[in-house]
A and B are shown apart, each in its own frame.
Chain A
Amino acid sequence: MSKFQILVVEDDAPVRNLITTTLKAHDYRFATAVNGNDAVMETASHNPDVILLDLGLPDIDGVEVIRRIRSWSNVPIIVISARSEDNDKIDALDAGADDYLTKPFSVEELLARLRVTQRRLVQMQSAGGNQPVFVNGQLRIDYASGCAYLNGEEMHLTPIEYKLLCLLSQNAGKVLTHKFITQSVWGSSWENDIGSLRVFMATLRKKLEKAPGSPQYIQTHIGIGYRMLRIE
């Protein structure tokens, strides 16, 4: 578990220290980079398992770093943004980032995000590509037959709800932006589609979650999108 290699890209020394101290305390191995070019070099030479990437770098924009890395690598990227503007995060997610943290963040939050990403990695490695069946906690989706089961019982989903569930499950652990979801499901991302998305997501959750108030499977990221959580 702790053999994961993490690349920390952060130009601000106190924040970098905070992150590395936390990682050290939890037995993670890590390397650091202080700007975008270093980050790309480091990724290419050391092939880390996870990248923690600050968006506000002195040389090149964080989103650009994501694009460059994504051109050859699928390594999970968690972006750290000091800007409270959602658009930066959405841009980063659309460029291929997997998750995000907003400064100021708590240490617990950082560790939780790392665990989510690790589980996703383990899942990806053991599965190795497209599986015919997806299993997550009590949820089972049989892609071949187009059926979803919860607690062994078949769920009665509308075509859109099923599409949404498949999309989320195929990207489990990853935050999907509204734009990404609406474009995948409806082929467009008009204002009205966001409204529809909210309604279908709410009905899907009603069928999926025991307590929609504290969701187990699908997490809402206000202003950003949704994510399916991996359940151990």
Chain B
Amino acid sequence: MVYQTQKGHTEEHILVCLSSSPSNAKIIHTAARMARAFNSRFTALFVENPNYETAPENRRRLRENQALAKQHGAQVETVYGEDVAYQIAEFARLSGITKIVLGRSIAAQRSPLGKMMLTEQLSFYAPEIDIHIIPDGSAGRIYRPVKVKNNHKAGIWKDAASSIAFLCGTTLLSLGFYRLGFTDANIIMVYILGVLLTSTVVSHQIYSLVSSIASVFIFNFLFTHPRFSFTAYETGYPVTFVVMFLTAYITGTFAIRYKEQAAQSAKIAYRTKILFDTNQLLSKAGNKAEIQNAAAEQIMKLLGRNIVIFENENEGLSAPLFFPPDTAWDTSYDLEEELDTARWVLKNNHAAGASTNILPDTRYMYLAIRVGERVYGVIGIDAAENPLDASEQSILLSILGECALALENEKNAREKEAAAVLAESEQLRANLLRTISHDLRTPLTTISGNASNLISNGSSFDEKTRKQIYTDIYDDAMWLINLVENLLYATRIEEGRMTLNTSTELLGDIVEEAMKHISRKADQRHLSVMHEDDMILVRADAKLVVQVIINIVDNAVKYTMPDSDIIVKTRKNNGMAEVRIADNGSGISDEEKEKVFEKFYSGSNKIADNRRSLGLGLYLCKAIIAAHGGVICAEDNEPKGTAFVFTLPLEEVTLHE
């Protein structure tokens, strides 16, 4: 079952309301023509009313109408709810409907209590939507679905019993009053009160009508002369009876209507509260997982059923998430079928599974979490044993709508953020290029200048000068080499390609390797290495960690005077491997301790060799250590100087003998 959806549609979206009426076919044809004329999307909606089960004949006609709508390329949807107008309006709002097509007979249908017509209600709920009313041929033969009452037997008996009880009570009280010699007026008031009270407990007007009539007859029979007969001598009595009946009936009707409205508004208030809570929770949720959790928990709380959620992962299902988390698939159902059904829902953007008429043999009922055409995920609700009732259905759909909107917002926010990050990295790239081209110039000038000196008049320099020139060339070249190395790693970080190539490493080996690459200026400092434990195994990308140590030590060399001490110390601390590189230089301020790890930050201290640094070294260190799951920080060294401390995760090894 794959529904056609028309491609290349405009903004218009036409909705036709399905019913089991024989004239519905004509309306579907008309709506389909409109959809073609507008080249718009076309949806057919059926509002299933929970209180009545329609006769088999109507069911069949409804199926025919649904099939007809499908033939015309409509997407067929079903919603559940008592208030038809509200359901249509809500669906229209969520699906972005612009025009609703109704048959005249249905449009003119009034609710039994003579409230507003369907059209009036619709325009009240959804004022911004066009409503098109189509004459549906069968004029004069107003169609009424055949209603079969089924589950109100118990209610009838209860209401009848309480009506009789109230009548008896009223009659007894009236007999008492009569004995005490009270006037008719008091007795009439007592009966009216009785009907009013009856009306507050019963569920249908018919009881207050019957009670009113019965009251009049009982009053006539028991209290008017001649007593115990249905005749009355006094000429005013007929008027009294009529007035009594009307008063009783009208007050009763009002009481019932008031009660219904109270129940309705309580329901609406409850629904509003749930939706409000959901909304609050969803707006607090920061990411996809939190949004799903919030919605799932809210639905679980509301329905008291197990839930399973799938995310839409590149148009496929993610691993299922169960709520409550300790539940799993029911093994008495076919797991493949559950997954197939969920997949079908994802693909077709239409509810399926238990209690629906598509693939109904599953444990869960699957619904799409969607905004319009975009499906963000699929939710399964345990509905095999007892299907959801209409109000549960409708509130569930509202929550799912909210959830999908939240997911869409989150997605938009994420895309926006990604765009911002992209812009930022473009900016960084530009900065980087500018800084590099500036900073490369200095060493390149000395290298090329020195080399050109040697070429043109190398022989005229004395040995000492020549040696100095060679050393300068060599040092500048080494500086460039280290710069290139750092740039390579920096671009890898910028491009998000900081993929660690980790393996088990001996921390001591890493430190030794780093020491081999320390710049030659370190010769003038006292560099020492101490291992508190010579068997510290870490999980690390050795090359990167070597670079971290080189950068920190080179930094220490750069910012200290000759003859300073630089001590590299390793140890195990709090379940992590720790490397501490301390110098006894002039130290850095607390403010700078944070800043040194920022990109392109270059210390304000006087640098020993007077070369401006690129401000990449420590930034890289931080990125590398963070990628390993460690931390890096700068602190004061005792008694003076700076210490850089970083940690790496320890590795446990089971030995293979």
User: What residue in chain A is nearest B545 (Cβ atoms)?
Assistant: A222
Among B488, B654, B657, point to the contact of A159 (Cβ < 8 A): B657
Q: In the assembled complex, which residues on chain B have CB atoms less than 8 Å from the CB atom of A220? A: 506, 509, 512-513
Q: Is the interface of A mostly helix, strand, loop or mixed?
A: helix
Q: Complex Cα distance A141/B116, Å?
A: 105
Q: In the assembled complex, which residues on chain B have CB atoms less than 8 Å from the CB atom of A201? A: 506
**Which stretch (B103-111, B529-537, B627-635) binds chain A?**
B529-537
Q: Judging by beta carbons under 8 Å apart, are B535 and A222 in contact?
A: no
Q: How many Å from the CB of B229 to the closest CB on chain A?
A: 106
Q: How many Å from the CB of A184 to the closest CB on chain B?
A: 13
- B1 beta carbon closer than 8 Å to chain A: no
In this complex, how many residues of chain A approach chain B with their Cβ under 8 Å: the count is: 26
- A158 beta carbon closer than 8 Å to chain B: yes
Q: Mark B505-526, 1 if CB is under 8 A from A, else 0.
A: 1101110110000000000000
**A193 in contact with B488 given A104-B481, A202-B535, A222-B543 (CB within 8 Å):** no
Q: Complex Cα distance A223/B656, Å?
A: 21
- A14 beta carbon closer than 8 Å to chain B: no
Q: Judging by beta carbons under 8 Å apart, are B543 and A86 in contact?
A: yes
Q: Complex Cα distance A114/B630, Å?
A: 40
**A198 in contact with B504 given A192-B653, A192-B656 (CB within 8 Å):** yes
Q: How many Å from the CB of A83 to the closest CB on chain B?
A: 11
Q: Complex Cα distance A92/B509, Å?
A: 23
Q: Mark A189-227, 1 if CB is under 8 A from B, else 0.
A: 001111110111110001000001110000010110000
Q: How many Å from the CB of B448 to the closest CB on chain A?
A: 14
Q: Complex Cα distance A212/B511, Å?
A: 12
Q: How many Å from the CB of B475 to the closest CB on chain A?
A: 13
User: What residue in chain A is nearest B481 (Cβ atoms)?
Assistant: A104
Q: How many Å from the CB of A27 to the closest CB on chain B?
A: 22
User: What residue in chain B is nearest A178 (Cβ atoms)?
Assistant: B503
Q: Judging by beta carbons under 8 Å apart, are B655 and A196 in contact?
A: yes
User: What residue in chain B is nearest A223 (Cβ atoms)?
Assistant: B542
User: What residue in chain B is nearest A220 (Cβ atoms)?
Assistant: B509
Q: Complex Cα distance A222/B657, Å?
A: 23
Among A84, A186, A195, A214, point to the contact of B504 (Cβ < 8 A): A195
Q: Judging by beta carbons under 8 Å apart, are B537 and A196 in contact?
A: no
Among A158, A200, A202, A222, point to the contact of B513 (Cβ < 8 A): A222
- B334 beta carbon closer than 8 Å to chain A: no
Q: In the assembled complex, which residues on chain B have CB atoms less than 8 Å from the CB atom of A86? A: 501, 543
Q: Complex Cα distance A223/B545, Å?
A: 11
With A220-B513, A223-B543 already in contact, 13 other A-B pairs whose C-beta atoms are closer than 8 Å? A158-B657, A159-B657, A195-B537, A195-B651, A198-B505, A199-B653, A200-B655, A202-B508, A202-B535, A206-B534, A220-B509, A222-B542, A223-B542
Contact surface of A with B, Cβ cutoff 8 Å: 84, 86, 104, 158-160, 178, 186, 191-196, 198-202, 206, 212-214, 220, 222-223
Task: List the 10 shortest-distance A-B pairs measured between CB atoms, nearest first.
Answer: A195-B653, A195-B504, A222-B513, A196-B656, A222-B542, A220-B509, A223-B542, A198-B506, A196-B655, A194-B503
